[in-house]
Structure 1
Amino acid sequence: MDPTIKHVAKKANVSTATVSRILNNKPGFSLKTKKRVLEVIEELGYQPNAIARGLINGKTETIGVLMPRLLDMFASRVLEGIDEYVHERGSSVIVCNTDNNRDRTMKYLQFLGEKRVDGIIFVSQLLEEDYYRMMADMKIPIILVSTISYEFQLPYVKVDDYHAAFSATQYLIQKGHKKIAMIAGEQTDPVAGIPRIEGFKSALKSAGLTPDDRFIVSTGGYSHSDGKRGMEQILARGLDVTSVFACSDELAVGAMSVAYKKGISIPDDLSIIGYDNTPLAEMSFPPLTTVAQPLYDMGNKSAEMLFNMMETGERSESRIMQHKVIERETVKEILC
């Protein structure tokens, strides 16, 4: 029979309450008593039941993570950073694939509430009022990753999308490009769509170039197929462009695949820069120049912030992470 907390208490000659306080780092015992109890726990091979611990300290030692897509490389890197930190803290992660679908998101939030998770990390989708209200009713800490809410003041971890898009466009301009097209995601998205488009336009204006909406293609998403569709639209418009700024690596690689089929050489005939710096950027041919988001670090930092809130009850400060342009082989310098 597996040892129980009662067996530990009896052998250590203390009460079960004392063993419980030691296991949950509560005060009320001497160092000598703690040492003796821990020695008995090791001797007996006692493993506290997670459910029992939850009943004692009101925690389930699990957190919920909601993501719009689990199969893309963006999500996998963010999740890797979250999971690494959570695992080191001895807790577990429940991952929910919302598919950017409202009904699925609401059902998953209900599920996480029923599971009594200790906190939630909400990744890369717009925080609607219904989502916020349901999470607020749980009375647990919430961290946003790669998204922001101006209506509901929750701490977040993200890059400055406006600045990052400005940097990508500025990089192309510094390489001599003046006719630059943009493959955007959702043009009306206030989190990533609008800031990146505005950053793109601002960089053009700063260089004395006039933004033209014909050069901006909104695909409604950030996938490989969206990138193919976006590139087809650019070509169909007959735009005499020398470069393309794609708002995700998947968009960029999708655009490159269309260029290849059309006999357009990258970067000799057309330069392309992506966004995210996922492993896909290194695996593409030629390797993709891109704007790096520190995706693993964003996930890891969000988990650290969440645990700090869970332990202290205090709100964490939001974090703007640094982006940078990673030069590879898809941007050609145009000499004047």
Structure 2
Amino acid sequence: MTVTIYDVAREAGVSMATVSRVVNNNPNVKPQTRKKVFEAIERLGYRPNAVARGLASKKTTTVGVVIPDISNAIFAEVARGIEDIANMYRYNIILCNADKKKDKEISVINTLLEKQVDGLLFMGGTVTQEHILAFKSSSVPIVLCATTDDNNAIPAVDIDHEKAAFDAVQLLISNGHRNIGMISGTLQDPANGYARFQGYKRALEEAGIPVIDDHIRVGNYRYESGIEAMKYFINLADKPTAIFAATDEMAIGAIHTIQDANLRVPDDISVISVDNSRMASMVRPLLTTVAQPMYDIGAVSMRLLTKLMNKENVEVTKIVLPHEIIVRKSVAHVK
């Protein structure tokens, strides 16, 4: 049988209102009475009914989080930042994996809203018109995490992906490289794909280096697509002396392909990327990469959402966090 608040009140010899005050940490309860109630709760194994409390307060203290790929260490780090701040503010998390598929993202968003979450954090790729329509149907705050919408209409926390890519390619140029290939993410993705491609392109143009179509391959962010792209580059008559990969995972695929071809990184081909996942410091040579503050992106997104959920005054709803280049061993200087 389920233990109810009535059972606890009877066991402790107090009213149900007193039990409710104790459970909800109301200070207006005598210490001796509080002790009696907690002892009764422990003896009976009572657990407060979160659904009932939510109906009464019109709050579920639950936040929905849509994550593109739960197996990706980068998103796991963001989720950790979200959870730590959620715990600090006593919110529970419902984490949903969307597999980077638009239809599943929309379905998950609607499911979370139906579950009466108090707020929603969306980590994904392209924010389409269908996403916007789903967001507009929501009566609770929504924050974009590690992505943005085209019109900057929805609160968001991210880095400047175009500048991150620009800085990475500029480092290669400053080391004498002029024949630079790019392994890009899908160009339909505004952040990890298109913005990083634009940063690559701008760095070359500002250095007076022509942008060559044959030096650009589009991957899917995964290790295997880095392998396939690098096989293509190695077979070019005028192969690049350096590769800029849009993600660490694709960069590591490229490094292994270079090594499998009996070439050396960075002596024969340099490699740089964006992310600074844990894998960047596990591969050999250690991967030079642009660090995204993934934990901070998650933590700041959750803090922004708590402010919106509590109707606090928020002056800035578009937050751009800084990135930095972590120089390791995968980039060499060429004459």
TM-score (norm: length of structure 1): 0.88
Tell me the residue number matched to 2:272: 273
Aligned residues: 329
Q: Which amino acid aligns with 1:273?
A: I
Tell me the residue number matched to 1:226: 225
Partners of 1:166 and 1:241 in 2: how far apart?
Answer: 18
SS at structure 2 position matched to 1:138: coil
C-alpha deviation, 1:188, in angstroms: 3.6
Query: Are 2:26 and 1:4 aligned?
Result: no
Query: Are 2:52 and 1:61 aligned?
Result: no
Tell me the residue number matched to 1:122: 122
Q: Which amino acid aligns with 2:117?
A: V
Q: Output one character per residue of 1:166-190: Cα deviation in whole Å (capped at 9) or x when no partner.
A: 1101111112212111111112433
Which aligned pairs between 1:110-259 and structure 2 lie closer than 5 A? Answer: 110-151=110-151, 153-219=153-219, 221-259=220-258
Partners of 1:116 and 1:135 in 2: how far apart?
Answer: 14
C-alpha deviation, 1:144, in angstroms: 0.5
- Asked if 1 retains the 8 angstrom alpha-carbon contact of 2:64 and 2:94, the reply is yes
Identity %: 33
- Asked if 1 retains the 8 angstrom alpha-carbon contact of 2:6 and 2:16, the reply is no
C-alpha deviation, 1:206, in angstroms: 2.3
Partners of 1:173 and 1:8 in 2: how far apart?
Answer: 73
Q: Output one character per residue of 1:49-106: Cα deviation in whole Å (capped at 9) or x when no partner.
A: 2122211211222211112211111111111111222223332211111112222223
- Asked if 1 retains the 8 angstrom alpha-carbon contact of 2:156 and 2:319, the reply is yes
Change in 2 beyond 3 A, CA 1:4/1:21 = closer
C-alpha deviation, 1:204, in angstroms: 1.8
Change in 2 beyond 3 A, CA 1:196/1:9 = farther
Tell me the residue number matched to 2:79: 79
- Asked if 2 retains the 8 angstrom alpha-carbon contact of 1:184 and 1:218, the reply is yes
Partners of 1:313 and 1:32 in 2: how far apart?
Answer: 27
- Asked if 2 retains the 8 angstrom alpha-carbon contact of 1:12 and 1:36, the reply is no
C-alpha deviation, 1:200, in angstroms: 1.1
Change in 2 beyond 3 A, CA 1:308/1:2 = same
SS at structure 2 position matched to 1:312: coil
Partners of 1:137 and 1:37 in 2: how far apart?
Answer: 46
Partners of 1:58 and 1:37 in 2: how far apart?
Answer: 28
Q: Which runs of 5+ in 2 are unaligned?
A: none
SS at structure 1 position matched to 2:65: strand
Q: Which runs of 5+ in 1 are unaligned?
A: none
C-alpha deviation, 1:37, in angstroms: 6.7
TM-score (norm: length of structure 2): 0.88
Partners of 1:317 and 1:203 in 2: how far apart?
Answer: 29
Partners of 2:172 and 2:82 in 1: how far apart?
Answer: 33
C-alpha deviation, 1:213, in angstroms: 2.6
C-alpha deviation, 1:23, in angstroms: 5.9
SS at structure 2 position matched to 1:264: coil
- Asked if 1 retains the 8 angstrom alpha-carbon contact of 2:100 and 2:125, the reply is yes
Q: Output one character per residue of 1:107-149: Cα deviation in whole Å (capped at 9) or x when no partner.
A: 2123212211111111131122222222322311111112111
Partners of 1:168 and 1:269 in 2: how far apart?
Answer: 18
- Asked if 2 retains the 8 angstrom alpha-carbon contact of 1:121 and 1:302, the reply is yes
